[in-house]
Amino acid sequence: MRILIVEDDDLVATGIKQGLRQAGYTVDLAGSAEEAERSLRSEIFDLAIVDIGLPGLDGLSFIRQLRSGDNPIPVLVLSARASMEDTVRGLDVGADDYMCKPFRLPELVARIRALIRRSNTLTDASLRHGPLALNTATRSATIDDRPLDLTNREWAILEILLMASPGIVSKDRLVQALAGWDKDITPNAIEVHVSRLRPKLAAGNIEIRTVRGIGYRMDPVAET
């Protein structure tokens, strides 16, 4: 996995670079939008981290330019201004996620992992979460390459939880998603399906956490 960091502050850029290297990513630095553009033309990256306050062409304009050139690369925006307008504009011009400075490295890594996971589903129909792998084309799942025996409903729940991770999925949303197979499915039935899923995932050390009053969350697995 190769990541391009577009950030003009050297201290921040090298800090992120080291952090992402420790998490197992290959990292390139660009100090300006112009430099980033040259790198993106000649190399292939899996994700770009773009600071809004760049010298010359600013981050938002750079992303807009990227998207108008049909470049689908996932983009995470960094902003020093914690104003909502800024971040909303960032998402409007085509960024996939944003973080406000100051942020903590573990959180940045978690967001990057989720972004890359989502973009991979679009390209090769595979979803990974630690040792767990889902193939959305064949609707099959494996843990450490050993096939998992799942019902259709279990598989649908697993896919939604995995796509949303590390976000929380409400029970209502699961009910709506499963209504395609079972019109009269109840929140209680969802609980039953989830409780059957849990032991099947235990082999991969993966936990589906109940969030009281809301729903479920697939807990992030520490990357090895």
Partner 1 sequence: MKPVVLSLRSRLLLAIIAPLCVVFAVSATFDYRLARETADSAFDHSLADVALDLASHIRTTDESLSVALSAEAEEILRSDASDIIYFSVRDKAGRLLAGDEALPSHEALAVTRVDNQMSFADRQLHGKRIRIAMHQTASAHGPVTIMVAETVNKREHSSRRILVAMVLPSLAVILATLLAVYFGVRRGLAPLEIVESEIASRSPRDLRAIDDALTPQEIRPLLSRLNDLFALLREAAASQQRFLADAAHQLRTPLTGLQTQIDLSTNEGRFSSDPERLLRINEAMQRIGHLIGQLLTYARTEPTTNLSQSFEPVALHDLVEQAASIFLDQALSKEIDVGFEAGPATVPGIPWMLREALANLIDNALRYTPRGGVVTVSSCRRADECALIVEDNGPGIPVDERQHVFERFYRINGTPGDGCGLGLPIVKEIATLHNAEIRLEDGAGGGLRCSLVFPIPSA
Q: Is the peptide bond before 147 cis (omega within 30 degrees of 0)?
A: no
Rounded distance, CA 170 to CA 206, Å?
A: 19
Query: With respect to partner 1, which residue has the nearer C-beta, 146 or 209?
Result: 209
Query: With respect to partner 1, which residue has the nearer C-beta, 30 or 115?
Result: 115
Q: Specify whether the CB–CB gap between 208 and 198 falls below 8 A.
A: yes
> Which parts of this chain interact with partner 1 (CB under 8 A)?
82-84, 100, 102, 104, 166-168, 170, 209, 211-214, 217
Query: With respect to partner 1, which residue has the nearer C-beta, 113 or 217?
Result: 217
Q: How far is the CB of 85 from partner 1 (least distance, A)?
A: 9
Rounded distance, CA 53 to CA 90, Å?
A: 12
Q: Specify whether the CB–CB gap between 72 and 96 falls below 8 A.
A: no
Query: With respect to partner 1, which residue has the nearer C-beta, 119 or 170?
Result: 170
Query: With respect to partner 1, which residue has the nearer C-beta, 167 or 187?
Result: 167
| Number of Cβ within a 10 Å radius of residue 212 | 5
Rounded distance, CA 55 to CA 214, Å?
A: 43
Query: What residue type is 157 in one-letter code?
Result: I
Q: How far is the CB of 187 from partner 1 (least distance, A)?
A: 13
Sheet strands (E) in 53-167: 75-79, 97-100, 126-129, 132-135, 140-143, 146-147
Q: How far is the CB of 87 from partner 1 (least distance, A)?
A: 10
Q: Is the peptide bond before 166 cis (omega within 30 degrees of 0)?
A: yes
* Residues 32/119/112/63 CA torsion (nearest 10 deg): 20
Q: How far is the CB of 215 from partner 1 (least distance, A)?
A: 8
Rounded distance, CA 75 to CA 97, Å?
A: 7
Query: With respect to partner 1, which residue has the nearer C-beta, 102 or 147?
Result: 102
Q: How far is the CB of 92 from partner 1 (least distance, A)?
A: 16
Q: What is the DSSP letter of 166?
A: T
Q: How far is the CB of 35 from partner 1 (least distance, A)?
A: 29
